[in-house]
Amino acid sequence: DTALPAAISPETVLKNVFGYDAFRDGQKDVIHHVCNGNDALVLLPTGGGKSLCYQIPALVRQGTAIVVSPLISLMQDQVEQVKALGVKAAYLNSTLDPALQAQIADQLIQGKLDLLYVSPERLRQYGFQQTLKLATVALFAIDEAHCVSHWGHDFRQDYRALGQIKANFPDIPVVGLTATADIATQSDILAQLQLNNPLVYKGSFDRPNIRYRVLSKYKAFEQVVSYVKQQEGSGIIYCNSRAKVDDLHAKLFRQGFRCAAYHAGLDADERELVQRQFLTDKIDIVVATVAFGMGINKSNVRYVVHHDVPRSVESYYQETGRAGRDGLDAEALLLFDEKDAARVKQWISQGEQSERNDIELQKFAAMEAFSEAQTCRRQVLLNYFSQFSDSACGNCDICLDPPTMIDGTVLSQKVLSCVLRLSQQAATQYVIDVLRGKQLRRLQEAGHHQLSTYGIGKDKSDSYWHNIINQLIHKGLIRVDITANAALRLTEAARPVLKGEVAIQLAVPRLEFKPDKKAKQA
Ligand code: ADP
Ligand code: ZN
């Protein structure tokens, strides 16, 4: 670049521009490789240090690095951050007025920029392609590279055209970067971007300081309140719709929590205010949709709660990964409910892009498997990203408090026969009300207080039965019929259990938060 002497080394830039003494794992190899004009794919978790992998080559190599980034707000932040270090950077997108856009294009052609951030649709435009031909391009960096693959959890049509870069600029290095990619997505990124003999660097995806917990969702609001009360510091609570975000936020706010809501339905000013309040610890909790988080650089988030199950392990990993970036103890809590899962599957099946539905269903199945795992959660997560680990982590709910298995045959028979007596027309809560013999008008009106199963489960709580029913669903003895108001139906497998021909092992329900946290850490 113009301001820097030629042949400056990556190590010098690291020190003089960014003020760091040493590269992190992977950065050095990738950066040298790209500086020498080669392609690379970098898979590093959020906070792993991906940006330097293209920012340093941008400064070492002649010309301007073109960085493709999907989010306008992210571009602005990144440009401001590097500008503060004295790097000549700009971004181009449709929010800028045309005169300014033209000015930036001129700067690009005249070689006055080290870094130029652009949206994928901008890169595709004919006019911009022509501008690029007049400029000296140091490299192309494709941020969030998983968006190029339809195997990824966040496929974007605009990213598809990025496959043309290599054809149009065969001699310019291309580096793809992502924090989430399963094996199928990884090889697809290489193929789609047509990377040439790339160095693939894959960092460890383990976040050992994050404790993973999954809890059977039952009276979610009370569970959230009791959880949040036990926490210190900042947290994010993810819900899967704007309406739920607003609702949960209003309830928490009324209870006196310092919280704010965040979703794409709020205008830009409001969202920015929430971000700033959260960053500066003016509020403790953000209740949000997935719109919150990308690019939020808050290192001391102590917990992330999923009020609703995410659609893929990748999303779950990315969202939980916002906790504990400072390396201190943090927690990820998922409230899982079989009914939610059934609903998600229905939404996916009704998706408009039917060719994607099967992929999404597979991805969701993996998320369900994680939620229902009876083995170390971290192992399940890491295995999903093909980082097989054969030792249990010691820092997840399963490791810390292994499920106790009991002979659940009688418990199962109680539930199954109650479902049967209710003609397989009743949903979970109704079945529980009958089992527990509740004095409810609707039961009496339907004559269900006279069933032989009325009250046979008095000795256990609602949440206990809820959990048992979920286990029976996981075991395939009951299914939730979402086309009939979530009525519980028996499957073929239920028959031998009802007849007492086979025994059923169940885990003792895990419903409460044990205040074991401090003790276990000590
Ligand atoms: P990612 O893009 O992978 O989420 P970033 O590139 O934003 O991660 O880096 C995360 C943080 O780590 C940033 O604050 C960055 O300045 C810092 N960082 C990156 N590389 C190094 C390094 N070699 N030494 C010290 N800090 C680093
Ligand atoms: Zn574990």
The CA distance from 10 to 212, in Å, is 38
Ligand lying nearest the CA atom of residue 399: 2
| Non-local CB neighbours of 15 within 8 Å, separated by 6+ positions | 21
**Is 408 a pocket residue for ligand 1 (Cβ < 6 Å)?**
no
pLDDT in tens, 457-491: 999 998 889 889 988 887 889 988 877 888 999 99
**pLDDT greater than 50 at residue 519:** no
pLDDT of residue 511: 65
pLDDT > 90 in the chain, percent: 68
Across the range 40-63, mean pLDDT stands at 93
Q: For a ligand 1 pocket test, name from 15, 23, 24 the mutation site with the most ligand atoms within 8 angstroms of its C-beta.
A: 24
Closest CA to 477 of 455, 503, 445, 442: 503
**pLDDT greater than 90 at residue 522:** no
Ligand lying nearest the CA atom of residue 376: 2
**Is 50 a pocket residue for ligand 1 (Cβ < 6 Å)?**
yes
What is the phi-psi region of residue 37: left when phi exceeds 0, alpha when psi lies from -120 to 50, beta otherwise?
left
Residue pair 334/214 in contact by the 8 Å Cβ criterion:
yes
Give the distance between the most distant pair of CA atoms in the chain: 89
How far does residue 377's CA lie from ligand 2's centre (Å)? Answer: 5
pLDDT of residue 515: 41
Question: Of 35-39, 293-297, 325-329, which gets the smallest average pLDDT?
Answer: 293-297
pLDDT in tens, 152-178: 777 888 888 899 999 999 999 999 999
**pLDDT greater than 80 at residue 386:** no
**Is 26 a pocket residue for ligand 1 (Cβ < 6 Å)?**
no
Question: Of 62-71, 216-225, 385-394, which gets the smallest average pLDDT?
Answer: 385-394
How far does residue 350's CA lie from ligand 2's centre (Å)? Answer: 35
pLDDT > 70 in the chain, percent: 96
The full DSSP string for 279-329 is HTTS-SEEEE-TTS-TT---TTEEEEEESS--SSHHHHHHHHTTS-TTSS-
Give the chain's mean pLDDT: 90
**Is 31 a pocket residue for ligand 1 (Cβ < 6 Å)?**
no
pLDDT of residue 104: 96
pLDDT in tens, 116-148: 999 999 998 999 999 999 999 999 999 999 999
Across the range 50-79, mean pLDDT stands at 92
The CA distance from 391 to 381, in Å, is 13
How far does residue 376's CA lie from ligand 2's centre (Å)? Answer: 4
How far does residue 334's CA lie from ligand 1's centre (Å)? Answer: 28
Length of the chain: 522
Across the range 181-198, mean pLDDT stands at 90
Across the range 265-283, mean pLDDT stands at 94
How far does residue 333's CA lie from ligand 2's centre (Å)? Answer: 14
Task: With cut-offs at 50, 70 and 90, classify the pLDDT of residue 512.
Answer: low
**pLDDT greater than 80 at residue 182:** no
Residue pair 333/231 in contact by the 8 Å Cβ criterion:
no
Give the CA dihedral 226, 230, 236, 242, nearest 10 degrees.
Answer: 10
Closest CA to 67 of 96, 45, 90, 85: 90
- What number of helices (H) and strands (E) belong to the chain? 24, 17
Across the range 430-438, mean pLDDT stands at 97
Q: What is the pTM of this model?
A: 0.74
